Amino acid sequence: MTGPSTGDPAAAEAMFAPAERALVDPLPVGDAVADIGPGAGTMTVRLAERVGPTGRVYAVDNDETMLELVRDRAEQAGLADRVRTLKHDLDDGPVPLPEPVSLVWSGACVHHALSWSVAVTGLAGLLAPGGVLALGEGGLPMRCLPWDVGVGRPGLEVRLDAAHNEWFTAWFQDRQGVVRQPRGWPDLLRSAGLEQVTSRSVLLDLPAPLQGPARRVALAELAARVGRAQQFLDADDRDAWTRLLEPDSPDWLGRRTDVALLTARTVHTGSAT
Ligand SMILES: C[S@@+](CC[C@H](N)C(=O)[O-])C[C@H]1O[C@@H](n2cnc3c(N)ncnc32)[C@H](O)[C@@H]1O
């Protein structure tokens, strides 16, 4: 699973936004739309621009801190009157929206739900006839470093992907009430009764040398991944990552000219009849 994950979600979302906009901007919007799991609200604000002055964007999250960020972002953009926040957990049943919506966008959120199938069916149920559910899920993990960074064994980042996947799997499976879904997102959309199901992906391709905010985001995302995957990395790899991510270290990645950010974002869509 991919998605911005650092302590500064707004900065991370800004980096990934062009890829997500390329996938979501072509989808039609009506007067009312929903952003489920909006994070810091980058797409919420984009949707608020698109629905126009009489439109409404319902931003739904189980974390009040995120909803505060969304309200702040909407306020700064002068679009607060179009954004309505709602605290709700996808595991607590269908989102109680006050009206059907023409587009439900949910980026990197549904994979947190205990049952992806129940969550997708609930989101499909929010749609007006002809409305579209768009799930930003899957994609590819980030690739930032050369295969051999000269610190630790070569292949460090590939092993981080594997360790991070172990962490996610353990997190996913260890929760009480979790339901495995041995099928892909398009099948989940079809099972929820949606039609014209398709998937599209775009690359986010920021070549080396990364500068300014892009470099900060890449290093912060790597640090977040290493932090979560710690227990699944061997001692040599943990040591190598410490040397690479610690600003006081002579090996700090922040001084290198070969750090890039390459990843892919995928959006799966389906229409209500
Ligand atoms: C990784 S962020 C994604 C942010 C943004 N949509 C994006 O694509 O960058 C996941 C978001 O989903 C929210 N979230 C996670 N689990 C949730 C749940 N069970 N119900 C509602 N929201 C949830 C988080 O609080 C966070 O705002």
- pLDDT tens, per residue, the chain with 273 residues: 445 566 788 899 999 999 999 999 999 999 999 999 999 999 999 999 999 999 999 999 999 999 999 999 999 999 999 999 999 999 999 999 999 999 999 999 999 999 999 999 999 999 999 999 999 999 999 999 999 999 999 999 999 999 999 999 999 999 999 999 999 999 999 999 999 999 999 999 999 999 999 999 999 999 999 999 999 999 999 999 999 999 999 999 999 999 999 999 999 999 999
Fold of 9-141+180-205+264-271: Rossmann fold (3.40.50)
In this structure, which amino acid lies at residue 228? R
Structure tokens at 244: 């690479």
Q: Where are the domains of the chain?
A: 9-141+180-205+264-271, 143-168+206-261
Q: How far apart, in whole angstroms, are the C-alpha atoms of residue 233 and residue 158?
A: 11
Q: Is residue 4 within 6 Å of ligand 1 at its C-beta? A: yes
pLDDT at 103: 98
Which residue has a Cα nearest atom 8 of ligand 1? 107
Please state at what angle helix 156-173 crosses helix 212-229, rounded to 10 degrees: 60
Handedness of CA 88, 90, 93, 96 (dihedral sign): positive
pLDDT for res 20: 92
Choose one of 15, 85, 109 to mutate for the ligand 1 pocket test, by most ligand atoms within 8 angstroms of C-beta: 109
To which H or E segment does residue 136 belong? strand 127-136
Supply the pLDDT for residue 4. Answer: 56
Long-range contacts at 208-212 (CB < 8 A, ≥ 24 apart) = 208/257, 208/258, 208/259, 208/260, 209/256, 209/257, 209/258, 209/259, 210/259, 210/260, 210/261
Amino acid at the residue 107: G
Query: CB-based contacts of 234: which residues, under 8 Å, 6+ apart?
Result: none
Question: For a pocket test of ligand 1, which of 6, 15, 33, 61 has the largest count of ligand atoms closer than 8 A to its C-beta?
Answer: 61
Distance from the alpha carbon of residue 51 to the mean position of ligand 1, in angstroms: 22
Whether residue 66 has its Cβ less than 6 Å from ligand 1: yes
Q: Which of 20, 33, 57, 62 to probe ligand 1 with, by most ligand atoms within 8 A of CB?
A: 62
132 CA to centre of ligand 1 in angstroms: 19
- Residue the block writes with tokens 């302590």: 7
Give the Å distance between the CA of 153 and the centre of ligand 1.
34
Residue 265: CB within 6 Å of ligand 1? no
